């Protein structure tokens, strides 16, 4: 006997309902979580790879990366960098065995103000994926949404056909510049925006619809859809399921395993809050930002300035920790002989 649509709706979890309206992406380097929640895509960053690389289950990947770095030779620093790049790609390649879509792999945050350096590193990562038998269409290269990062993304997309995911995006100016650059996807952050307002304002709790991070992504989504930009909007960095549910209908949402688990256990009716139709009726006006205008408008947003710089520093710190871990694996054994 078939189940009526009404009853089926009651049985569906919030996660399953969300998947009807939004592409769900797993924000993790943990293969088990990916197997469990079956997302279309997955995103990684230096912090997630650092955490995964310390798990016993993934030591074979670390060993393979170390061996690769040593095989290529060069100075200690060159060997460590090659091992680090290889480790990111090894994790990405394993993730791609478990998902039908794309994986995001991040360029070193220490290159955030070096346009040419980001382009070179992105192309290197794509070459490593090619060596592993994986085409560039299954990869999104993550770049910091600095002016230099956005321009690197523009070149990578237009000249090399490399798809980019612009991360650490907090301001409307960053979103406008990314749209004008024609990048594949942006990751506007939600939870980190909320963190800033809670830390710096009198208000300590927000209803999901009033959450400043939710409002930021909603405005960006509406702007992109109203003016026909093809760039995918992927909300990121969530603190609770309320933020996620308040962005039902967004193109993509990348969600941690912890919050995916919570959504899978919730059984409340989800209604899309974002839609192309509503976006096209909004009263936003189109703007153009050259470098000077971008820097001014971004600088006017204190939260975005502080969170972008803080995010770059944190990702850079975790990249250094990862390199230190690899260095110990690569050279401590030699030194101890």
Residue 7 lies in a domain: no
Average pLDDT over residues 305-326: 97
CATH number of the domain within which 322 lies: 3.20.20.70
Residue pLDDT, tens place only, 14-58: 999 999 999 999 999 999 999 999 999 999 999 999 999 999 999
Q: Give residue 271's pLDDT band: very low, low, confident or very high (50, 70, 90).
A: very high
For residues 192-197, give the mean pLDDT: 98
Q: What is the pTM of this model?
A: 0.94
Q: Is residue 38 part of a domain?
A: yes
pLDDT at 11: 72
Within a domain: residue 41? yes
pLDDT for 222-239, tens place per residue?
Answer: 999 999 999 999 999 999
pLDDT of 3 strictly over 80: no
Per-residue pLDDT at 62 exceeds 80? yes
Residue 122, pLDDT above cutoff 80: yes
Does the residue 140 lie in any domain? yes
Query: Residue 266 falls within a domain, yes or no?
Result: yes
What range does the domain containing 289 cover?
Answer: 14-328
Report the distance separating Cα 240 and Cα 208, nearest Å: 9
Task: Examine the pLDDT at 335 and tell me if it is beyond 80.
Answer: no
Pair of tokens at residue 111: 């290159």
User: So which residues are the catalytic ones?
Assistant: 142
Is residue 2 assigned to a domain? no
The average confidence (pLDDT) of the chain is 95
Beta-carbon contacts of 44 under 8 Å, excluding residues fewer than 6 positions away, are: 28, 29, 88, 91, 92, 95, 103, 104, 105, 106
12 to each of 3, 35, 240, 244, 283, how far by Cα in Å? 12, 19, 20, 17, 35
Binning pLDDT at 50, 70 and 90, where does residue 5 land?
A: low
- Provide the 3-class DSSP secondary structure of residue 128: helix
> Considering the domain boundaries, does residue 4 fall inside one?
no
Give the model's confidence band at 332: pLDDT under 50 very low, under 70 low, under 90 confident, else very high.
confident
Q: What is the pLDDT of residue 2?
A: 45
Per the structure, the count of domains in the chain is 1
Beta bridge partners of 142: 106, 165
Q: Is residue 3 part of a domain?
A: no
Instruction: Output 332 or 239, whichever has higher pLDDT.
Output: 239
Q: Give pLDDT, residue 165.
A: 98
Q: Where are the beta strands (DSSP E) in the chain?
A: 23-27, 41-43, 103-106, 139-144, 164-169, 185-188, 232-235, 252-255
């Amino acid at each position: 006997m078939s189940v009526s649509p009404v009853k089926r709706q009651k049985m569906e979890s919030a996660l399953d309902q969300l998947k009807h309206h939004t592409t769900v992406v797993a924000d993790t380097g943990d293969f088990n979580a990916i197997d469990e929640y079956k997302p279309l895509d997955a995103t990684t960053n230096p912090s997630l790879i650092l955490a995964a690389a310390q798990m016993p289950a993934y030591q074979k990947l670390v060993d393979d990366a170390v061996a690769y770095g040593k095989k290529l030779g060069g100075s200690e620093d060159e060997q460590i960098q090659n091992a680090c790049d290889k480790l990111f790609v090894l994790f990405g390649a394993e993730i791609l065995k478990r998902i039908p879509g794309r994986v995001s792999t991040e360029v070193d945050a220490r290159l955030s103000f070096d346009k040419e350096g980001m382009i070179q590193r992105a192309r290197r990562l794509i070459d490593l994926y090619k060596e592993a038998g994986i085409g560039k269409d299954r990869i999104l290269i993550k770049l910091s949404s600095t002016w230099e990062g956005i321009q690197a993304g523009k070149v990578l997309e237009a000249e090399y056909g490399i798809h980019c995911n612009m991360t650490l995006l907090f301001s409307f100016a960053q979103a406008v510049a990314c749209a004008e650059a024609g990048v594949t996807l942006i990751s506007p952050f939600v939870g980190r925006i909320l963190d800033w307002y809670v830390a710096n304002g009198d208000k300590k709790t927000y209803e999901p619809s009033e959450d400043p991070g939710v409002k930021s992504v909603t405005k960006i989504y509406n702007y992109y859809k109203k003016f026909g930009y093809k760039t995918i909007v992927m909300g990121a960095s969530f603190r609770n399921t309320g933020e996620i549910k308040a962005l039902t209908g967004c193109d993509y949402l990348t969600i941690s395993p912890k919050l995916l688990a919570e959504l899978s256990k919730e059984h409340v009716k989800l209604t899309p809050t974002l839609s192309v139709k509503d976006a096209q009726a909004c009263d936003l006006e189109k703007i153009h930002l050259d470098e000077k205008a971008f820097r001014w408008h971004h600088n006017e947003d204190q939260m975005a300035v502080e969170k972008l710089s803080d995010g770059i520093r944190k990702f850079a710190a975790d990249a250094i920790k990862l390199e230190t871990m690899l260095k110990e694996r690569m050279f401590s054994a030699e030194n101890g002989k």
